[in-house]
Copies of this chain bind each other. A is one copy, B any other.
């Protein structure tokens, strides 16, 4: 049975000591009352909920999976999922960051991300149900009409109803321009939708009374491609009554045609959804549905990145517990427990390498993704336009990095932490292999990591001639200038500054090559994203090291060992993980010819 200790100490370190988030919130009227006590209390309660309610049903949910009844088209989530969801709703977790006017708690997105992290560490399958509801809420909040918002947002904020995003069809996933689902306008202003959607997470289940599908479809006169896609809200049960008093009415003409048998996330129903003349209402403007849906997609991409973080943390904790407990062999540098038949395997350098990889990626990912969440709050609620713009730019730039870098790391770390357990990691009972299987989807859904890499290099960097990237570079530069003369900081600042210079050169070089041949951007994309990911991690690890060094200096022998450990992990990151950039810079620079020259028929 897996263990989980909420990482509240490190969360507090990141939020208070590294990001100084409470001070940032003081400048935002909506969050001015968010103080350290509120933050810490939310973290503590959220951690308890995840460890006590979600973790115990994670493995059983994986083993049982969801079940589909073809006669009633209904889906039953694994045992215990509904009860956990009821408790989640009762404690008002669903509306943590939702607007108070719709019944939410109005707290920062940063806390939502912290909650996500712990949910994903303990039960990714379960957490996807409420997670998609948050996404649907955010999409309707931005693009819904007043009536739509009044009707749906209170239900979504309370979790009485859940949400989905219905994009993919059998013949199109990445290329939504090809989608075929049709929406026929009706005399009463509604639409009748017909088509087949697949891979709809949480598309059907028994956790809530209603499911609010956000569906991409085409109007009869829509232009071809992505410019002819509109967004519709299509509830499973058509609501009766208005706003807060709405109840579920008639069953809408859509149904679940089946659920997928898949590698992992067995506890979440991945549904085929058949729209058979279902009644829906347009959200936002005609033919601008993809743009509207991107609100939900961007939120989901950040959340998926945090799934990678959550899995990394969970894998780390369980591998450490095993490595401390399992005695096997002797330390190469002499027995550490000579009175016992063997040493615990945590004495071995190579075991430590695997553990520290996971820890450095977890702690780096936490600082980075929490900072991005803080930018989301800034973008929405900062009174200063420049700050809002900065938040929006960083959100746009970093969304693909959080999504792809953290999920690649999550899969790698789950794989390596499973390796720490040897054969015992391959056995289902120990829970490690579930983490690997669950982690694998995160690199795929909400846009594959290859698509994220193209989004980063194309839309987010080259399209604005590197303007957003330079804004982040200015933060790095400022840090380097402030701490470049500190001897103690030298081991962190020097490689950070060096990588910053290399990124600048690499970006310019790729920009020029891609100007002549766009395949050059595609050929470099994945390696480029890993380099940018490391630039972000190096920056936040340097900031964390600085805080640790300050505390070690100030507190002397009485220093909390938390800071000693932080410094050691920072060193590990800079010496062992950051050098991966030496590989990826070479790969990114090697050009498109080596991938493009082989004719398709010779593959």
A interface vs B, CB < 8 Å? Answer: 168, 172-175, 177-178, 199, 260-264, 320, 323-324, 328-329, 331-333, 341-342, 344, 346-356, 359, 411, 415, 418-419, 422-423, 425-429, 433, 436-437, 440-441, 443-445, 448-450, 453-454, 517-519, 521-523, 525-526, 561, 564-565, 568-569, 571-572, 575-576, 579-583, 586-587, 590-598, 600, 602-603
Q: Which residues of B contact A422 (CB under 8 A)?
A: 173-174, 444, 448
Q: Which residues of B contact A333 (CB under 8 A)?
A: 517-519
A-B contact pairs, 21 of them (CB 8 A): A172-B328, A174-B328, A178-B342, A262-B428, A262-B433, A323-B603, A332-B518, A348-B522, A349-B523, A350-B450, A352-B595, A352-B598, A353-B595, A355-B603, A419-B443, A419-B449, A568-B594, A575-B590, A575-B594, A576-B590, A576-B595
Q: How many copies does the complex hold?
A: 2
Q: Which residues of B contact A359 (CB under 8 A)?
A: 603
A172 to chain B: closest residue by CB: B328
Q: A600 to B444, Cβ gap below 8 A?
A: no
A428 to chain B: closest residue by CB: B261
Chain A contact residues, majority secondary structure: helix
Q: A428 to B592, Cβ gap below 8 A?
A: no
Q: B583 to A597, Cβ gap below 8 A?
A: no
Q: Which residues of B contact A178 (CB under 8 A)?
A: 328, 341-342
Q: Which residues of B contact A450 (CB under 8 A)?
A: 348, 350-351, 354, 419
Separation in Å of the A330 CB from the closest CB of chain B?
8
A598 to chain B: closest residue by CB: B568
Q: A519 to B583, Cβ gap below 8 A?
A: no
Q: A598 to B565, Cβ gap below 8 A?
A: yes
A450 to chain B: closest residue by CB: B350
Q: A347 to B600, Cβ gap below 8 A?
A: yes
Separation in Å of the A409 CB from the closest CB of chain B?
14
Q: Which residues of B contact A597 (CB under 8 A)?
A: 568, 571
Given A262-B427, A583-B583, 17 other A-B contacts at CB below 8 A?
Answer: A173-B423, A174-B328, A175-B328, A323-B603, A324-B600, A324-B603, A349-B592, A350-B525, A419-B449, A423-B444, A425-B444, A426-B444, A561-B602, A575-B591, A576-B594, A579-B586, A579-B587
Cα distance, A33 to B330, chains bound together (Å): 50
Cα distance, A427 to B444, chains bound together (Å): 12
Cα distance, A425 to B415, chains bound together (Å): 18
Cα distance, A449 to B590, chains bound together (Å): 30
Separation in Å of the A460 CB from the closest CB of chain B?
16
Q: Which residues of B contact A586 (CB under 8 A)?
A: 579, 582
A174's partner among B329, B341, B426, B518 (CB-CB below 8 A) is: B329
Q: Which residues of B contact A262 (CB under 8 A)?
A: 426-428, 433
Q: B445 to A423, Cβ gap below 8 A?
A: yes
Q: B521 to A332, Cβ gap below 8 A?
A: yes
Separation in Å of the A216 CB from the closest CB of chain B?
16
A522's partner among B332, B440, B581 (CB-CB below 8 A) is: B332
Centre residue among A262, A324, A349, A445 by max chain B CB count within 10 A: A349
Q: Which residues of B contact A448 (CB under 8 A)?
A: 419, 422
A168 to chain B: closest residue by CB: B423
Separation in Å of the A263 CB from the closest CB of chain B?
4
A63 to chain B: closest residue by CB: B261
Separation in Å of the A362 CB from the closest CB of chain B?
12
Cα distance, A346 to B168, chains bound together (Å): 20
Separation in Å of the A66 CB from the closest CB of chain B?
14
Q: A433 to B561, Cβ gap below 8 A?
A: no
A526's partner among B263, B350, B445 (CB-CB below 8 A) is: B350
Q: A602 to B564, Cβ gap below 8 A?
A: yes
Q: Which residues of B contact A523 (CB under 8 A)?
A: 349-350, 353
A522 to chain B: closest residue by CB: B349
Separation in Å of the A398 CB from the closest CB of chain B?
20
Q: Which residues of B contact A260 (CB under 8 A)?
A: 426-427
Separation in Å of the A568 CB from the closest CB of chain B?
4
Q: Which residues of B contact A590 (CB under 8 A)?
A: 575-576, 579
A346's partner among B172, B349, B517, B603 (CB-CB below 8 A) is: B603
Cα distance, A504 to B141, chains bound together (Å): 62
Separation in Å of the A547 CB from the closest CB of chain B?
17
Q: Which residues of B contact A594 (CB under 8 A)?
A: 356, 568, 571-572, 575-576
A518 to chain B: closest residue by CB: B332
Separation in Å of the A391 CB from the closest CB of chain B?
30
Q: Which residues of B contact A331 (CB under 8 A)?
A: 519
Lowest 5 CB-CB distances: which A-B pairs, in order?
A349-B522, A579-B586, A349-B523, A263-B433, A332-B518
Cα distance, A575 to B590, chains bound together (Å): 6
Q: Which residues of B contact A521 (CB under 8 A)?
A: 332
Separation in Å of the A541 CB from the closest CB of chain B?
13
Indicate whether A595 sits within 8 Å of B582 (C-beta atoms), given known contacts A324-B603, A440-B436, A522-B350: no
Cα distance, A266 to B177, chains bound together (Å): 40
Q: Which residues of B contact A324 (CB under 8 A)?
A: 600, 603
Q: Which residues of B contact A561 (CB under 8 A)?
A: 602
Cα distance, A590 to B577, chains bound together (Å): 11
Q: Which residues of B contact A441 (CB under 8 A)?
A: 426
Cα distance, A378 to B581, chains bound together (Å): 42
Q: Which residues of B contact A418 (CB under 8 A)?
A: 440
A453's partner among B350, B355, B444 (CB-CB below 8 A) is: B350
Q: A598 to B342, Cβ gap below 8 A?
A: no
